[in-house]
Structure 1
Amino acid sequence: MSGSTVLWVTLAVFAQESVWNFYDAQVPAQLRHYLTSAGLVGLIMGMDNVLGVIVQPWMGYLSDRRVDSRLGRWPIILAGACLAAVPFALIPWTSSLPALMVCIFFFALVANAFKGIIETLVSDYIAPENRSKAQGFIKAGVSLTIVISSLVSLLVVDRSLTLAFAIPPILMLIMIGVSWAFLGRHHTEKVLPSHRDAGAPDHAVPGGAAEFSSPWAVVRDLVRDPSGARLLLMAGIFCFAGMWSALRSLLTPYGTEVLGLSRGAAGGLALPGAVAFLIAVVPIAYASGRIGQIRAIRYGVALFVVGLLVGSVNPSPTTTIVSMVLSSIGYAVFAVNALVALWSLAPNERVLGTYAGLYTVASAAGMALGPALLGLTVDLTGWRFMLLNAAVFGAVTFTVFTRLARKTADENTGPREA
C-alpha cells in the first residue's frame, strides 16, 4: 500500500467532509432566522439524506462506466466540487427563506452527487487486501474535519459569517485539486489493473460488467444473490448506522434528563468517545485486515452493546463517558470495515461506485429512522432506560452480523483478508 496514494485519497475525502461538517454545524442556526420550529429545522437538515438515497446510486453507476477512461471518475468529482461550492458560499448572503432553501437544496443535491464517488477512489487506487488499512487512515483524517469546522465556527463566524461560509468550499476546491494533481492527472498509470484493463474478466459474475445495464440491474443482482450475504450486510449497515445516529442524537437530552447535567455539559459527553475513535481507528484497521472485515464488525457490534450495558447499569456522568468510549470504539470498527466488506462481496470490480451508493442508501435510511425508533422506546419506558433500549437494538444488529459471518464462512464468499 503506497502511503502517498492513501494520503491523496484521504485528502479528497477530507475535503468534502470538511464542508459537510460545517454545513451540519452552521446551517441549522441560519434556518433559525426564519423558522421557530426545531422539528421543521431538523426535517430540512435531513433532506440531504433523502437526496443521497436518490442520487448516489445513480451517480456511482455513472462513475463506474467512466473508470476505464483517461480521467476516470475525476471529471464528475471536479465538476461537482466547483458547482457545490457556489450555493454553499451564497448561504449567508440570502435574505429570505426561499432563497436560503434554494441554496441548501442545490448544495445538498450536487454535493451528494459526488460524495460517494470520492469514497470510491479507495477502490480505484488501493488493492482489496489493503482497503481496510487505508480506511483507517481516511476515517482518522475525516474525524479531524470536526476540529476544522469547530475552529472556523469559533474564530470566524462571529466576526464574518460570509467569510466563514467561504472558507470550507475554498479548502475543498484546493484539496481536491491537489489530490487530482497527484492522482487524477495520471489516472491511467495509477489506477488498479482490474480497472485499467477494460478487457479483463470480472471475477464473479458471468458476463462481467456488461450484465449490469443500470443501477436497478445491480440492485436486482444484490437481492437475488443466492447466498443472501449482500442483503444481510445491507441490513446490518442499516441497523448499526441507525443505532449510532440515534445514540448521538439523543445523548444530550439523556444527559440533562437522567444525569442532571446542563445542556453544555451534556453536549460534551460525546467528546471522550470522539477522542477514543480517533486513537483507535488506525490500529483497528490493521487488526481487521488479519481477521476479516465481517468478523471484525461483529466484534465491534459486541463492544458497542457492552458499552451501552455498562452505561445503563448505574447511570452517572462517569459511567456514561465510559459507555461512550466503548461504544465509539465499537462504531469505529464498523466505520472502517462496512464499505470495504460490501465491496468485497460485490459481483465484480466494475460496480464498486454503485455499491458505494447502495451503502449510502442503507446507512442514510438507518440514520433517518434510528433516532425515531429509539425515541419511541424512550416515550414508552422513560429516559432512564434509553441506553438499555439501544442495547436491545444493538443485540439485533449483532444477530444479523453473526448470521452473516457464519454464512460467508460456510460459503467462502467473505472478504479477502490481508
Structure 2
Amino acid sequence: MKKTWLLGLGFFSISLTWALYNAFVPLFLDDYLKSAAMIGFMMTIDNYFAIVLQPWIGHRSDKTITRYGRRMPYLMFGMPLGAVFATLIPWHTGFVTLILFMVLMNLSMSLFRAPTVALMPDITPEPQRTKANGVINFMGGIGSVLAFGIGSQLYGIGSYVPFLFAGVVMIICLLVLKTVIREPAALGLGLAGQAMANEEPKPQIRIKDQLDKTTVLILAAIFFWFVAYQGVEALFTLYGTKQVGMSDAEASFSLTFFSLAFLLFALPSGWLGARYGKKRIISIGVAGLFVIFGAMIFVDSVLWLRVLLIVGGIFWACININSYPWVVATGREESIGTRTGIYYFVSSLAAITSPPLLGWLIDVFGYPALFISASAGMLLALGCLLIVPRERQRVGQDPFDQTPVGMK
C-alpha cells in the first residue's frame, strides 16, 4: 500500500495539471476567441488525443522491453515534456503560439497517462486493485482540490505561476516514482523476461482480441454512464442558473459537494469493491445515480439539490473507483496497458459526445431534459451490466477462475 500511495503521486500531478489547465486556459483563449462554442471545442483537444493515442500507447507499453520496465520509459519521456509545455502556455505571444503550446502539452500528457495508470495493476495483486484504485483516485482528487484552492492565489501573483507550479510538481513526482517504483521483472522485460523466468512466451496481445462479449458490455456501460456524468458536469451550471434560479457562484459551488463526496468515498468504495465484488458495487452506484438524476428533475431547492449531489458523489465513487479494475480483471496480465488504453478511449469518446448531445436535447426540450437524459444514460448502463456474465476473478496468468470475488 505504501507503493500505491506513492504511485498516486503520478495521478496527483496529472489531476493538478489538468485542473489548472481547465481553469485558466479558457481565459487565455478568450483574448482571441469570442465564441464560447469555439473555446469549448479547443478545450476538448485532450479528448481527441486520448481517443487516437491512448489505446495505441497503452498497447505499445505492453510490448515495451527496456531495463526501466514497460511503463516507466513513457513517464520518463512524457512527464518532462508535459511539464515544459504546461509552463510555456502562459508565455504565448499570440493565438498561434498558444494553440501550439496547448497541442504539445496535450500530446505530451497523452504519452504517459495510460502507462501511469497501468502501473497500478502491474504492481498490485488483483484482489487489492479496487482498493488501490481508490487510493489513486483519492490522490487525484487532492490534486484537483489543491489546484482549485491555491490556483487563484498563484494566478494573482502572475498568470505563469500556476503553470510553473504544475510543471515543478510533475518533475518532482516523476523523480519520486522513478526512485521508488520497480516494475515486476518478468512483466518489465516482456517476452524476454518470461523466457528468463523459464516460462512459455505468451502470444502477442492485439487490441481486437480484447473485445470479447463481456468486455464489450462493460465498455458499453462505461460509455453510457460517462455520457450521463460528463453531460451533467459540463451543463450543470447552466441548469442551476436557468432552471433553478441560482446565481453563477451558487451553481458552480454546488458541484463542489459532488466532488468532495466522491473524494471522501473513494477509499471506502474501493474496499467495498474488493469485499463484495466490483460488478455488484458498480451496479449499486449506477442504480443509485439513476434515482438521483431522476429526482433532480423535481427539485427546485438549492439545499436539497446539494443534498442530492452529495449522495450522487457517493454513488459515482462506487462506479468510478471500481470500473477500471474491472476492465483490467477481464483480461490477462500482459494486456493491462492495452485495456487501459481502451478504457480511456471509451471514456474520452463519451466526453466528446455528451456535452453537445445533451446540449442539443436541452435546446429542443428545455433544461429538464438534462437530468432526464442523464437518468436515461444510467438506465442504459444498468441494462448493459445486467447482461454481463457474473464476475469472475483471475488467478495468476490464467484468464479466469470460477471463484466469486470475496470468497477467497
State TM-score, norm by structure 2: 0.91
Q: Select the residue among 17, 30, 42 that pairs with 1:19.
A: 17
- Partner of 1:258: helix, strand, or coil? helix
Map of 2:42 onto structure 1: 44
Q: Select the residue among 196, 209, 213 that pairs with 1:221.
A: 209
Q: Do the aligned residues in 2 keep the contact of 1:127 with 1:192 (CA within 8 Å)?
A: no
CA distance in 2, matches of 1:296, 1:194: 33
CA distance in 2, matches of 1:26, 1:211: 43
Shift of 1:328: 1.6
Q: Select the residue among 39, 55, 58 that pairs with 2:56.
A: 58
Map of 2:396 onto structure 1: none
CA distance in 1, matches of 2:234, 2:126: 34
Unaligned regions of 5+ residues in structure 1, if any? Answer: none
Could you say if the C-alpha distance between residues 176 and 196 of structure 1 is closer, same or farther in structure 2, counting changes exceeding 3 Å? farther
CA distance in 2, matches of 1:31, 1:253: 21
Could you say if the C-alpha distance between residues 70 and 259 of structure 1 is closer, same or farther in structure 2, counting changes exceeding 3 Å? closer
Q: Select the residue among 260, 271, 290 that pairs with 1:305.
A: 290
Map of 1:157 onto structure 2: 155
Number of residue equivalences? 400
CA distance in 1, matches of 2:354, 2:66: 38
Shift of 1:412: 6.9
Q: What does 1:175-254 correspond to in 2, within 5 Å?
A: 175-184=173-182, 187-188=183-184, 198-199=194-195, 209-212=202-205, 217-218=206-207, 220-223=208-211, 225=212, 228-254=213-239
Could you say if the C-alpha distance between residues 128 and 16 of structure 1 is closer, same or farther in structure 2, counting changes exceeding 3 Å? same
Map of 1:275 onto structure 2: 260
Per-residue CA deviation, residues 218-251 of structure 1 (Å, 9 max, x unaligned), is: 2x2133x2xx101111111111111111011111
Could you say if the C-alpha distance between residues 403 and 137 of structure 1 is closer, same or farther in structure 2, counting changes exceeding 3 Å? same
- Partner of 2:157: helix, strand, or coil? coil
CA distance in 2, matches of 1:108, 1:193: 29
Map of 1:359 onto structure 2: 343
CA distance in 2, matches of 1:191, 1:286: 26
Per-residue CA deviation, residues 249-297 of structure 1 (Å, 9 max, x unaligned), is: 1110111111111111111111111121112111111011122112211
Per-residue CA deviation, residues 200-235 of structure 1 (Å, 9 max, x unaligned), is: 799xxxx964333xxxx32x2133x2xx10111111
Q: Do the aligned residues in 1 keep the contact of 2:46 with 2:106 (CA within 8 Å)?
A: yes
Shift of 1:196: 9.7
Could you say if the C-alpha distance between residues 43 and 193 of structure 1 is closer, same or farther in structure 2, counting changes exceeding 3 Å? closer
CA distance in 1, matches of 2:402, 2:175: 38
Shift of 1:389: 2.9
Could you say if the C-alpha distance between residues 243 and 65 of structure 1 is closer, same or farther in structure 2, counting changes exceeding 3 Å? same
CA distance in 2, matches of 1:58, 1:121: 16
Shift of 1:310: 2.3
CA distance in 2, matches of 1:105, 1:126: 33
Q: Do the aligned residues in 2 keep the contact of 1:344 with 1:416 (CA within 8 Å)?
A: no
Identity %: 23
Unaligned regions of 5+ residues in structure 2, if any? Answer: 394-399
Shift of 1:195: 9.4
Map of 1:318 onto structure 2: 303
- Partner of 1:377: helix, strand, or coil? helix
Shift of 1:67: 6.0
Map of 1:94 onto structure 2: 92
Per-residue CA deviation, residues 29-56 of structure 1 (Å, 9 max, x unaligned), is: 1111111111111111101100111111
RMSD after superposition? 2.5
Per-residue CA deviation, residues 124-150 of structure 1 (Å, 9 max, x unaligned), is: 111111000011111111111122211
Q: Select the residue among 347, 350, 353 that pairs with 1:369.
A: 353
CA distance in 2, matches of 1:280, 1:192: 33
Could you say if the C-alpha distance between residues 413 and 312 of structure 1 is closer, same or farther in structure 2, counting changes exceeding 3 Å? farther
